[in-house]
């Protein structure tokens, strides 16, 4: 579930922090910069593990702060492919079952990866598993808050760094009769999570914990 | 910022749990600056991760237990990822072991799977609430018969 990532960065310590020990000031700055943030293609950063190397600190003209190049290791949440994880069901929608792990929320189990046959109950907005036994079909509901065991099928990293102003769209001259609906507004409303996990529960042993506890 | 190695090492849930608990203790003592705007992210992620991990078997582990577990696991020839999953999840049924160990039908016989479940149950501490339920029910049965 968690990995150690080796990184290098230049940390700026402002003069009003010069009274604290360098290591503590640097740890604080690194945690301020990275904790609870997603680094593209790396994962969700949790906290600083240790500082492996500190290079010399420099002060540049025009800025009273010190700049130090730091080599450090950070604890990152980055489950490997096919890893088994346990989370709680946040809610169900047409897109599938949304699972949360308290510190990480963007986990989706799409309908085709649910235990088959699966059906979406529109009235209660919940997915259920139509489990066949000799006695007949049981409907096993996937209710909110239930603990669920799933396998990591895929991961999606989206680069959410700010893009420049929309140049191409604005430069094409408006054709008569065509509405120039600003695309920027649509893009602004639809925010993609920077890191999403796609899960599957299509195997014996996966799904709600209560299904498999004898 | 540069990422030198995105996969330098794998950490068990217990190591992260211990790291965050120690961090929380240290920051409790420092007092003043942990509520500043910049530290809010660290507080949130620490709180949420500890909340999640305290409901898992790793909260009852210790470095000695982890070492004993890994030593006992050596003869079974499991990969690092498989041993890590067994350590983090503490499976108690054959179905769970089959999920975590790849191609378990070919690599492990039924006896070996039973042996794995037994080792995991013995070395890794379980949930005391779950373990107390079974003997409590036995006591209630005896009480009913006596009266």
ipTM attached to this prediction: 0.85
Q: What is the pLDDT of residue A185?
A: 44
DSSP letter string, B79-104 = -HHHHHHHHHH---SHHHHHHHSTTH
Q: How far is A92 from chain B, CA to nearest CA, in Å? A: 21
> What's the token pair of residue B136?
């409590």
A8, closest residue in chain B (CA to CA): B2
Extract the tokens encoding B69: 């577990």
Q: Which CATH architecture has domain B63-123?
A: Up-down Bundle (1.20)
pLDDT band with cut points at 50, 70 and 90 for residue B132: low
Largest CA distance in chain A: 81
pLDDT recorded at residue A3: 96
Going across the sheet that includes B2-11, the strands are A38-39, A43-59, A66-77, A2-13, B2-11
User: A180: pLDDT confidence band, cut at 50, 70 and 90?
Assistant: very low
Domains of chain A with bracketed CATH: 2-77 (3.30.1490.120), 83-158+191-211 (2.40.50.140)
Residue A117 — very low, low, confident or very high, per pLDDT cuts 50/70/90?
confident
What is the predicted pLDDT for the residue at B145?
45
The secondary structure of A84-150 as a DSSP string is EEEEEEEEEETTEEEEE-SS---EEE-GGGSSSSEEEETTTTEEEEEEEETTEEEEEE--TT-EEEE
d(CA A96, CA A112): 9
pLDDT tens digit sequence for B64-93: 999 999 999 998 888 999 999 999 999 989
A192 touches chain B (CB under 8 A): no
Q: Is pLDDT above 60 for A73?
A: yes
pLDDT of residue B38: 79
| A46 Cβ under 8 Å from any chain B Cβ | yes
pLDDT at B133: 52
C-alpha to C-alpha distance for A125 and A93, rounded to whole angstroms: 6
Q: Is A3–B56 a contact, with Cβ atoms under 8 angstroms apart?
A: no
| CB of A16 less than 8 A from some CB of B | no
Distances (CA, A) of A180 to A184, B34, B57: 11, 49, 57
List beta partners, residue A121.
Answer: A126
pTM over 0.90: no
Q: pLDDT value at position A74? A: 96
Whether the pLDDT of residue B117 is over 70: the answer is yes
Does the CB of A140 have a partner CB in chain B at under 8 Å?
Answer: no
Domain boundaries, chain B: 13-55, 63-123
CA–CA separation, A103 vs A88, rounded Å? Answer: 11
A·B CB contacts under 8 A: 113
Q: What are the angstrom distances between the C-alpha of B63 and each of A4, A86, A171, B67, B135?
A: 18, 23, 63, 6, 29
CB contact under 8 A, B95 and A212: yes
Q: Establish if A101 touches chain B: CB-CB under 8 angstroms.
A: yes
Assess contact for A45 and A34: CB atoms under 8 A.
Answer: yes
Name the one residue in this structure whose structure tokens are 């006596």.
B146
Nearest CA to CA, how far is B147 from chain A (Å)?
Answer: 31
Q: Is the pLDDT of residue A49 over 50?
A: yes
Nearest CA in chain A to B49: A103
Within 13 Å of residue A189, how many CA atoms lie on the same side as its CB? 4
Average pLDDT over residues A145-150: 93
Is residue B20 within 8 Å of residue B46, measured between CB atoms? yes
pLDDT number for residue A167? 59
CB A3 to CB B8 under 8 A? yes
Would you place residue B141 in the very low, low, confident or very high pLDDT band (cuts 50, 70, 90)? very low
- In 3D space, the residue among A208, A149, A80 whose CA is nearest the CA of residue B91 turns out to be A149
Quickly tell me which residue has 């730091």 as its tokens: A70
């Amino acid at each position: 579930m968690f990995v150690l990532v080796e990184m290098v960065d230049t940390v700026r310590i402002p003069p009003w922090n010069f009274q604290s020990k360098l290591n503590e000031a640097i740890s604080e700055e690194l945690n301020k910069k990275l904790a609870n943030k997603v680094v593209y293609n790396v994962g969700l950063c949790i906290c600083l593990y240790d500082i492996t190397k500190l290079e010399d600190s420099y002060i540049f003209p025009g800025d009273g702060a010190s700049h130090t190049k730091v080599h450090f290791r950070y604890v990152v949440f980055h489950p490997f492919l096919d890893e088994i994880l346990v989370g709680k069901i946040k809610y169900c929608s047409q897109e599938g079952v949304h699972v949360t792990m308290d510190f990480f929320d963007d986990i989706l189990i799409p309908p085709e990866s649910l235990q088959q046959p699966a059906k979406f109950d529109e009235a209660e907005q919940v997915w259920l598993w139509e489990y066949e036994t000799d006695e007949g079909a049981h409907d096993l509901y996937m209710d909110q808050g239930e603990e669920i065991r799933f396998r990591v099928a895929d991961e999606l990293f989206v680069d959410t760094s700010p893009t420049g102003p929309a140049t191409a769209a604005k430069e094409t001259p408006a054709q008569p009769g065509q509405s120039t609906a600003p695309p920027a507004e649509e893009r602004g409303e639809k925010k993609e999570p920077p890191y999403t996990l796609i899960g599957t529960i299509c195997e014996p042993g996966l799904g709600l914990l209560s299904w498999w506890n004898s | 910022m540069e990422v030198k190695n995105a996969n330098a090492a794998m950490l068990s849930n217990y190591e992260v749990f211990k790291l965050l608990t120690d961090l929380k203790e240290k920051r409790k003592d420092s007092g003043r600056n942990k509520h500043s705007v910049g530290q809010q992210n660290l507080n949130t992620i620490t709180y949420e991760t500890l909340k999640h991990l305290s409901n898992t078997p790793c909260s009852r582990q210790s470095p000695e237990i982890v070492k004993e577990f890994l030593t006992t696991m050596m003869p079974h020839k499991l990969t690092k990822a498989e041993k890590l999953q067994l350590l983090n999840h503490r499976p108690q049924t054959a179905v769970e072991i089959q999920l975590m160990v790849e191609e378990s039908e070919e690599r492990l016989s039924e006896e070996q799977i039973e042996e794995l479940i037994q080792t995991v149950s013995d070395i890794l501490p379980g949930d005391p609430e779950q373990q107390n339920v079974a003997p409590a029910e036995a006591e209630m049965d005896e009480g009913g018969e006596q009266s």
